[in-house]
Amino acid sequence: MKKCLILANGDAPKKSVIKYLQKSGYTTLICADGGANTAYKLNLIPDYIIGDFDSINKETIDFFTDKVKFIQLDRQNDTDVEKALKLAISKKYSEVILLGATGDRLDHSFCNIGVLLKFSDKINTAMLHQKSFMKVYNKSTVLRTIHGEVLSIYGIDHKTKITSSGLKYSLKNDSLPFGVKESTSNVAIADTVKINISGGKILIVRDYEVLKRNDFFRLS
């Protein structure tokens, strides 16, 4: 399975996080426009830099000119993160983790979550911010967990139904429409949690440190 990372222009992740994910199989690094500034500051060499280049610094461009594949797309009907996701899909990547996707503007954070949902039918999408790892699921799944692990589940609309096993607070053909009902801070009571999904997509948020400590990234 081909896996990649997309680095956006929000709050910078730690270099150690990117290096760990690269060692776990997410070997390709795609920078979405100003995300290249973060790569430059972290002394990381991306594989691609893509966007309309309205956020990337000249110093960054000069440094990466002979080292990285630049793809400039001036169209305004999609965001730089969308451009990066479309590139990943065109290159046949099966999984992507979005980094640097949140910051001081909530509209950008909401937009990036929406973009992950939008493209989840074409590529497995996830987002990592500090201790929170959020992944989109559009079909039933079995999660490797540990006893006591905290995870939160969010639906999108009333049509999406969720049934679970292995959770302290069970879901039985429940819908979790955003802004109406949610399953925040649920708890795993087994080594695996089964989530049956019908009629739509859901978001599951887990603790990055727990996933890393138990090598769940390497096992995915």
Q: What is the pLDDT of residues 178-212, one digit of tens each?
A: 889 989 999 999 999 999 999 999 999 999 999 99
User: Looking at the chain, which residues constitute the CATH 2.60.120.320 domain(s)?
Assistant: 141-219
User: Looking at the chain, which residues constitute the CATH 3.40.50.10240 domain(s)?
Assistant: 3-130
Contact, 125 vs 136, CB < 8 A? yes
CA–CA–CA angle 63, 18, 114 (5° rounding): 100
DSSP conformation letters of 80-115: HHHHHHHHHHHTT--EEEEES--SS-HHHHHHHHHH
- How many whole angstroms separate alpha carbon 41 and alpha carbon 52? 20
Residue 176: the pLDDT is 94
User: Is residue 84 pLDDT above 80, yes or no?
Assistant: yes
The model carries a pTM of 0.94
- How many whole angstroms separate alpha carbon 203 and alpha carbon 199? 14
- How many whole angstroms separate alpha carbon 50 and alpha carbon 33? 6
Query: Is residue 88 classed exposed, middle or buried when 0-12, 13-18 and 19+ CB atoms within 10 A define those classes?
Result: buried
Contact, 134 vs 204, CB < 8 A? yes
Lowest-confidence region among 15-19, 35-39, 96-100, 101-105: 101-105
Give domain 141-219's CATH superfamily.
Answer: Thiamin pyrophosphokinase, thiamin-binding domain (2.60.120.320)
- How many whole angstroms separate alpha carbon 215 and alpha carbon 193? 17
Report the candidate in 151, 156, 163 with the shortest Cα–Cα distance to residue 198: 163
| Mean predicted lDDT score pLDDT of the chain | 94
Q: What is the pLDDT of residues 10-32, one digit of tens each?
A: 899 999 999 999 999 999 999 99
- How many whole angstroms separate alpha carbon 111 and alpha carbon 126? 14
10 Cβ neighbours under 8 A, 6+ residues apart: 100, 101, 102, 103, 108, 109, 112
DSSP 48: E
User: Is residue 220 pLDDT above 70, yes or no?
Assistant: no
Report the candidate in 56, 52, 49 with the shortest Cα–Cα distance to residue 76: 52
Give domain 3-130's CATH superfamily.
Answer: Thiamin pyrophosphokinase, catalytic domain (3.40.50.10240)
Buried b (16+ CB within 10 A) or exposed e, 107-122: ebbeebbebbbebbee
Q: What are phi and psi for residue 205, nearest 5 degrees?
A: -110, 125
